[in-house]
Structure 1
Amino acid sequence: MERCRPHGAMEPQPPAEQVLRQLGRLLSHRPGALTELGALLEASEPRWLLGTGSPAALVELAAQLSDFAALPECEQDTAELRDGDKAYEAAAERAAGVGGVFLRLLAKLEAAKADESLKPLVEPVLRRVMGYMYILAVTHIVEGAWSSAGTREVAAELLEELVRSVGCGTVEELLRGRKEEEKGGFEAVMGLMKPRLSKDTWKRNPATKHVFSWTLMRITRPWLSQHLERVLPASLLISDDFREENKVLGVRCLHHIVLNVPGADLCQFNRAQVVYHALYNHLYSREASLIQAVLLCLLDLLPILERAQRQQQQPRPTSPWDEVLQLVLTHMEPEHRLALRRVYARTLPAFVQRLGILIARHLKRLERVILGYLEVSDGPDEEARLGILETLKCTIEHAWPRMPCRLPVLLKALLKMIWDVHTDQGSTPEPVRAALLQRATECLILLDRCSEGQVKILLEGVYSCCEENRVRECIRRVQENT
């Protein structure tokens, strides 16, 4: 005969493992399952939640929640997505709900730390669910067609609570670990991201590249080198896309790697050469934003390649510096787009400075570029002219023995520019005019020094017949300089 339950006795609760797995399976089939799951976590006791078998069920549940909140796959790229897309609105609602459930789970795990018998179980669970929570938070913390003000708020709160729960002070600590020898969460995150970062999958989810780049930028020296095999292929893949915004993003990722990985590690297995060739090919682009990103990255990569060549004792007739500068000057000479002219002119002084006396190899083409850029104004800020005057100054300083023979051409160009700047009635601000005249005067002084006073002699006639005070002031400063 069945024994009767005493009056008022509660029915025993089913195991947490069973309930969690059942609700996880219902997420995609029953609209209210997510709400029920949130209510269950809110009401459950930490001891029940972390009972026998539950930690594995919690990890499985985190994966199911991550899949439920995932963005719909697409065949097109992010650049063609638009705010207000119904599929992304629905995904944002799901993400906000899942973020709320993750917050409740973190709260329960935090409460479990107060129980000494449960405390050993909390950290393993946190480490295994952390990647899913992090990816959801970073997906929606950036503004995109798939996020909303609500999801961004939930994502920021989730990321903040996740950092606090694992005992870190910043997202960087969460990813890298608090100490150099400590294992952070970056490996777990990249492990989950790996299937999404292949050649065939990375563009199906419009947030993948943002999550990858946002995460990569938060890992610096000395932690990044141990993850080089995970991050370099993905960065090269993104930079090799046909869309300009993806190329720029990929190049910025490569630049971060170059800055934060030791040169010896970069040169191992010919990695630095692979990056160099990828960047060199981008120099044929006509987009200013991409050229700027590429040149800035090359300025930090080329010294690494140069050191590797010296160590290998393999002398070459031309170095990567020469190869890059030759191509840049070839593109600069006929360039008429002001945005590109500014980018080239801003970067050129650094190349001249780095090559030093070896800039003499490129003087013929460099002279033509300097003359062409001095002649044309590029707008109120005169970035191109200021950059090219700095280039001329560096060139005179490093290749001064070759300057006397070029004196007539350079002197004429500088005087013409000084006159144009003085007489220009355009919208150029006074500080910019002053900067142009100051740099032109400095170049004249340097030319005079390397030509043993020839500039002073040539300017005597100009000074006596010029009636413009500002131009006379520039000439006077050259003549008085000793």
Structure 2
Amino acid sequence: MDLSRLLKSLQLESQPEGGDPECPAVTAPLAEQVLSQTLLLFSAEGVGGSAQAGVVRDLRALFEAADCQWLFGGCSPSATPKLLGDLVTALSHYAALPKQESDTGNPPSEDGFDTTAADRTTDVGLVFRSLLAKVEAIKGSKPLGAMVRPILGSVAGPIYIFAVTHHAEKPWTCPRSRSMAQELLTLLVQAAGCGSVAEFLRGESEDEEGRFAAVMGLLKPELTKDTWKRSPATKHVFFWTLHQITRPWLSHHLESILPPSLLFSDDYQEENKILGVCCLHHIILNVPAADLYQFNRAQVVYHALYHHLYAREAQLIQVVLLCLVDLLLVLERYPHWSQEPRAATACHEVLQLVLTHMEVEHRLPLRRVYARNLPAFVKRLGILVARHLKRLERVIVGYLEVCDGPDEAARLGILETLKCTIQHAWPRMACRLTVLLKALLRMIWDVSTDGSLTPEPVKTALLHGATECLILLNHCSQGQVKILLEGIYHSCDNCSLQACIRQVQENT
């Protein structure tokens, strides 16, 4: 490709004597000058969007046509990585999303950005792709191969953030920009000699330092209390990047990842709360308990999550309960062997509040979420769930009475809860036999006579769950359930109810 227009604009033509002025020769001593002058021209005050777009296209032409020896070998080993890093940073700022008002709290719409943003993104992505292709080309070269590591050290962070910003379906992306970003991310990982994005970020082994710290260093100014809402893509880049790092690497970066996660979860928008809680859950799963204990971090996270239990959004409650279940494993390692069995531990506090909300909750989405997650807390407490049996019994009976739609998620969750409760607190079940037996038989009758559109597999699952609970109740009551069901079996003509009673009677 002809590079004369670019060199003319920079006034850096190198013409041999008698040479054609229209065909300037690109010689090795010009590389550093071309890169530095391009950076100055691109960053100069008063340079308009059209002029910058022209520089971007010329820079792409330069990277595609230039010889690797001229591009990387004509400068000093320390100058080339710095110049390229400054260029990549300037191009990233040129293609960055417009800043949003920090106090609006409104997510950006598809029409909320400059109409030329997609073009800028594509043009800059093509420049980065050409640059990475040149870096890949010198990896096997002995004289230039040593420059790969310092060059990537300067350009990998900004290019990674640029690619992750546009690689997923967001209001500011289009199919063309997403395809380009995916390709760019693949080329970056390949140029770094890694097998995956996770390896690119964390390093090949635990002792090897990856590029996660460098990426977080670039994101840090955008993750403060006053700035994170002004950059609509920053939270998504942080979320996606965080989930690429797992145990044991994540614990090395706890100081940089925990504050933004807590910041997101403390926001007033549901979307940001969910994103922050998911980040906290990933941290809990992938950071050793000893590190979470330090500086009271686990308690800070617990109080942040406990506060969300007062929310009324089903999706938020779902992620909060899942996160709390795993956090309780960190806070209370051996609740079954506690030296103070009557002490109010975190798990008791959570279950008490959840049961309080479940008793008065009438919205089906929240009832399903509560019932689906309740068995995990019962299993966590074990025999100590006996402390909550009075309220738990009211919740179980109340939820078994109400049909909650075709999937019957609430009833199925409550049947699993009852099953776990009987298994763990069986010595206390005999005194509650009458209430629970009536609730189970009433539910079996309702399900078997239900004429709604509930699928047959769901009805079968409900009847199977109820039968399991009856069998467990019979075991812990020393056969009293069999005796009580004898009269019902002979006087009832409902086939489903008779089948359930028959299974209880035949079970030994």
TM over 0.5, shorter chain: yes
Cα offset, 1:481, TM superposition? 2.1
Indicate yes or no: 2:21 matched with 1:17.
no
Cα offset, 1:314, TM superposition? 8.8
- The residue type paired with residue 283 of structure 1 is L
Equivalent residue in structure 2 for 1:472, among 498, 501, 505: 498
Partner of 2:148: 122
Indicate yes or no: 2:25 matched with 1:7.
no
Cα offset, 1:148, TM superposition? 1.0
Q: Secondary structure at the match of 2:218?
A: helix
Equivalent residue in structure 1 for 2:344, among 303, 308, 318: 318
- The residue type paired with residue 494 of structure 2 is E
Counterpart contact for 2:336–2:382, Cα < 8 Å: no
In the TM superposition, 1:29-428 aligns within 5 A as 29=47, 30=51, 31-50=53-72, 51-52=75-76, 53-75=79-101, 80-87=107-114, 89-307=115-333, 317-428=343-454
Partner of 1:461: 487
Cα offset, 1:391, TM superposition? 0.5
**For residues 311 and 268 of structure 1, do their structure 2 counterparts lie closer, same or farther at Cα, with a shift above 3 Å needed?**
farther
Indicate yes or no: 2:38 matched with 1:27.
no
Choose 138-147 or 26-35, whichever is displaced more. Answer: 26-35
Cα offset, 1:11, TM superposition? 5.9
TM-score (norm 2): 0.90
Choose 427-436 or 107-116, whichever is displaced more. Answer: 107-116
**Aligned length in residues:** 478
Q: Secondary structure at the match of 1:124?
A: helix
CA distance in 1, matches of 2:132, 2:442: 70
Gaps of 5+ in 1: none
- Alpha-carbon RMSD: 2.1
CA distance in 2, matches of 1:199, 1:64: 25
- 1:113-134 CA-partner distances (Å, limit 9, x unpaired): 3432222122111121100100
- The residue type paired with residue 26 of structure 1 is L
Choose 129-138 or 9-18, whichever is displaced more. Answer: 9-18
- The residue type paired with residue 384 of structure 2 is L
Counterpart contact for 2:242–2:279, Cα < 8 Å: yes
Cα offset, 1:20, TM superposition? 1.6
Choose 323-332 or 402-411, whichever is displaced more. Answer: 402-411
CA distance in 1, matches of 2:419, 2:338: 34
CA distance in 2, matches of 1:312, 1:164: 52
- 1:221-271 CA-partner distances (Å, limit 9, x unpaired): 111000111111111111111110110011011000000111111111111
Partner of 1:435: 461
CA distance in 1, matches of 2:325, 2:26: 68
Gaps of 5+ in 2: 1-14
**For residues 200 and 283 of structure 1, do their structure 2 counterparts lie closer, same or farther at Cα, with a shift above 3 Å needed?**
same
CA distance in 2, matches of 1:317, 1:258: 24
**For residues 54 and 306 of structure 1, do their structure 2 counterparts lie closer, same or farther at Cα, with a shift above 3 Å needed?**
same
Q: Secondary structure at the match of 1:41?
A: helix
Counterpart contact for 1:267–1:308, Cα < 8 Å: no
% identity of equivalent residues: 62
Q: Secondary structure at the match of 1:118?
A: helix
CA distance in 1, matches of 2:435, 2:338: 42
- The residue type paired with residue 7 of structure 1 is G
CA distance in 1, matches of 2:338, 2:94: 53
Cα offset, 1:186, TM superposition? 0.7
Cα offset, 1:42, TM superposition? 1.5
Cα offset, 1:16, TM superposition? 2.3
- The residue type paired with residue 111 of structure 2 is G
**For residues 259 and 34 of structure 1, do their structure 2 counterparts lie closer, same or farther at Cα, with a shift above 3 Å needed?**
same
Counterpart contact for 2:81–2:154, Cα < 8 Å: no
